[in-house]
Amino acid sequence: MRDKRFLYGLLVVNISSLLYFDILIADFRITFAIITMGAFLYLYRRPNPVLTGVVVGITIYLLQLIFVIVRGGSLENMGYGFIPEIFFYVVYAIIFYFGIYKPRTEDLEKMFLIAVTGDFSANFFEVVLRINFFHQDFLPSQFFILFLVALVRSLILVLILKGARLYRLLLLKEEHESRYQRLLHMIMLLKDEMYWLEKNKAKIEESMTEAYQLFEWLKDSGRPELARKALRVASDVHEIKKEYDLLTRGFKEVTDESLEVNQMKFSHMLKILKNTMNYEIGDLDIVIDLEYAYSEDFTTARHYELMSVLRNLISNSIDALEGIKNGRIQVAHRKVEGRHHFLVSDNGAGIDARRLKEIFSAGYSTKIDYASGEINRGLGLSLVKEIVEKRLRGTIAASSEKGGGARFEVIIRSEDIEVEK
């Protein structure tokens, strides 16, 4: 009884009991409450249906008495006339208990049969009570009308349940789609880090080699103390290299095996990119108008590389828009003469001509916290350039004017990025 959903369901059933019409005999009403009660019993199975039927019957009875009082009616004459309706809901609940609840069936076809049986049996039981205790007249032929009512109400009930099931499936599909996109986003970020790891791996090898060469030179020059230190440095770098290899191997296993997506349409890729970038913009608590457009759709197997390039160019534009009102970023695509042109532009502060020549250099960043010395690395325009030129065999160029925004254009040949559908 403390469950809020039970109370909400009880409230809906009681409200729907106010929608009714009288039929056949006095105080015998055809109400919509049995439809909502049937849906409630089917969808929410925590409470015992029989207990629910008793509670529903009593609360609806009390609600009817309240309306009698409000309208100035006589409780002595009308109050007893509503009592058989309590048994209507109890009988329906008992049949639901043995037909649906106890066998734990989800079959809507069986639910329809149980609903028809329960509806007709409950009405039949109520009519028998009225004939025997209230001496009301009821023709046997009128039971056919009760059966038609049971059919119609049960049909409406099943249609409502089918609609609820369809709605639940749509919500589940949206949830799965959202998780799928977040997983792709996570893998894309991991692949971004993989580029850094792969780039630094050669530097670790080089440092280890130079440390060992230094050890050999110091040992031969008769400086054993310094030689031992150089050897210790070489050994430490070697241990770091082993841990580094384990890390890169783990990253590779996650990115290669966690989600096998061999190909992707560019339109789908843009949809994922749009959602993930909106998450990032939302986390920064800034307002930026991010627009996407493409001339024609295509399928690619290089979606991770292409998403990484576009994501980091967009992130670069987001950094450039800090403190600017009505910030706007445009991501555009067009195909011209067998080449794909990807353009990312913004209306930010822009980059002056002197720095424009350096932005693709290793270690360059337009976003430096001079108080802490921290650099907002992102993937780095140098590695973006490396992905475009070495992995995608394309070109990247930047143009900008100070105060006039920045524009990055990536050009990739169709044969280097497209696959057959």
Q: What is the CATH number of the domain that holds 44?
A: 1.10.1760
Closest CA to 311 of 207, 185, 225, 170: 185
Closest CA to 91 of 137, 133, 52, 40: 52
Say if residue 205 is in the same domain as residue 301: no
Q: Tell me if 161 is assigned to some domain.
A: no
With residue 172 as reference, give the H or E element that holds it.
helix 143-220
Say if residue 248 is in the same domain as residue 199: yes
- pTM of the predicted protein model: 0.52
DSSP one-letter string for 312-377? HHHHHHHHHTTT-TTEEEEEEEEEETTEEEEEEEE-SS---HHHHTTTTSTT--S-B-TTT--B--
Say if residue 317 is in the same domain as residue 401: yes
Say if residue 23 is in the same domain as residue 120: yes
Instruction: Please give the tally of structural domains in the chain.
Output: 3
Q: CA dist 6 to 45, 95, 241, Å?
A: 10, 20, 60
Give 254: exposed, middle or buried? Use CB within 10 Å, 0-12, 13-18, 19+. middle
Q: Is the separation of the CB atoms in 263 and 301 below 8 Å? A: yes
Say if residue 408 is in the same domain as residue 268: yes
Domain boundary among 101, 116, 138: 138
Say if residue 371 is in the same domain as residue 239: no
Q: Tell me if 147 is assigned to some domain.
A: no
Q: What is the CATH number of the domain that holds 268?
A: 3.30.565.10
Q: Tell me if 163 is assigned to some domain.
A: no
Q: Give dist(CA 321, CA 346) in Å, integer.
A: 8
Long-range contacts at 278-282 (CB < 8 A, ≥ 24 apart): 279/185, 280/315, 280/318, 281/318
Say if residue 327 is in the same domain as residue 249: no
Q: CA dist 83 to 37, 45, 137, 234, Å?
A: 18, 26, 17, 92
Domain limits for position 133: 4-138
Q: Give dist(CA 408, CA 313) in Å, integer.
A: 8
pLDDT in tens, the chain (421 residues): 457 888 888 888 888 888 766 555 544 567 888 899 999 999 888 888 999 999 998 998 888 888 777 776 665 555 566 788 888 899 999 999 999 998 988 889 899 999 999 999 988 888 888 777 766 666 677 778 888 888 989 999 999 999 988 888 887 777 777 776 676 667 766 666 666 666 667 777 778 888 878 888 887 888 888 888 888 888 887 777 777 777 666 666 665 554 555 788 898 888 888 887 887 787 777 788 889 999 889 999 888 889 889 988 998 888 888 777 788 899 999 999 999 999 999 988 888 777 787 888 765 554 544 344 444 444 478 888 888 998 899 999 999 877 788 999 999 999 999 987 5
3-state secondary structure of 234: helix
Say if residue 395 is in the same domain as residue 294: yes
Domain boundary among 257, 273, 307: 257
Per-residue pLDDT tens for 282-334?
A: 777 778 888 999 988 999 988 888 988 998 899 888 888 877 778 889 999 99
**Amino acid letter for position 292:** Y
Say if residue 64 is in the same domain as residue 93: yes
Q: Tell me if 149 is assigned to some domain.
A: no
Say if residue 243 is in the same domain as residue 354: no
Q: Tell me if 21 is assigned to some domain.
A: yes
**Amino acid letter for position 388:** V
Say if residue 251 is in the same domain as residue 319: no
Q: Give dist(CA 27, CA 130) in Å, integer.
A: 9
Q: Give dist(CA 348, CA 271) in Å, integer.
A: 24
Say if residue 30 is in the same domain as residue 92: yes
Domain boundary among 233, 257, 281: 257
